[in-house]
Structures are given as structure tokens and as C-alpha cells.
Structure 1
């Protein structure tokens, strides 16, 4: 007997003819919850740079001399 015939015979004997989509709905729910959690983590980082704008401005003023000036880049 071939493997295909064995699989067909096993499927016929089982008598279990439920909807496969209903058996796997849990995977979809788990995926939905996981992606929703990842979306919340991603959204929690929105506007982070602007939360401490005063620190960024103070750092820029303190290190203004460390930055290369325009025209002094590569090619000279």
C-alpha cells in the first residue's frame, strides 16, 4: 500500500470531520495579541526625542565647537 493510500485510510477511519479553521482559531488569537502588544511598544516610543528638547538644546550648545563646520568636509 502506498503512503497516500495509508493516509486516506487513516483519514476515513478517524471519523473526525470537524472544521479545521475552528481548531486553529487559537493561533490567530495568539498572533493578534502578540502583534497588538508589539504595536503598543512601538507607539510608546513616539515623540521620545521631543520629551527632552531642553537637554538636546543644552547638549548642542555645549558641544557646538565639536561639530565639523560646513565646507570642511571630505574632498579637501
Structure 2
């Protein structure tokens, strides 16, 4: 067998007769599910600072003397 006949035989064997669009739609569905889950994780962090504002204000009052006042760029 020559190299050309081997390549031809391999091409004939690997020929695909199914619907490629139907086979790859699963990848799109998986990507959609993953990105939707990531969007829910991102949205779960909305307004986190305001949920704990009384605790943050109490900490700021307790440690007001520990903070140095520094001007920007100086």
C-alpha cells in the first residue's frame, strides 16, 4: 500500500454520516447551564456590603482611632 492509498482508506473509514449539528447541540446546552449557574453565583453577591452595614459601622466606630488619614497622592 502506498501513502496515498492509506490516506484515502483512512478518510473513507472516518467519514461521518450523522447530523453534526444535532451531535454538537449538547455542548451548547452544557455551556448555557454552566453560564447560568455562574450568573446566579455572581448575582448572589449583590448588595453584600449593605447586608452587614451595622456590623461594619460598629467596627468603624470601635477602630476610628486606628485609621490614619492620608490624602491621595501625598
**TM superposition shift of 1:6:** 2.8
Provide the TM-score with structure 2 as the length reference: 0.77
Provide the TM-score with structure 1 as the length reference: 0.75
Query: Which residue number in structure 2 is paired with residue 55 of structure 1?
Result: 55
Partners of 1:8 and 1:70 in 2: how far apart? 71
Q: Which runs of 5+ in 1 are unaligned?
A: none
Task: Describe the shift of the 1:69–1:11 C-alpha distance in structure 2 as closer, same or farther (beyond 3 A).
Answer: closer
C-alpha offsets along residues 38-64 of structure 1, whole Å, 9 cap, x if unaligned?
Answer: 110110010000111111111111101
**CA-based RMSD:** 2.3
Any residues of structure 2 matched to 1:1-76 within 5 Å, and which? 1-2=3-4, 4-11=7-14, 16-70=16-70
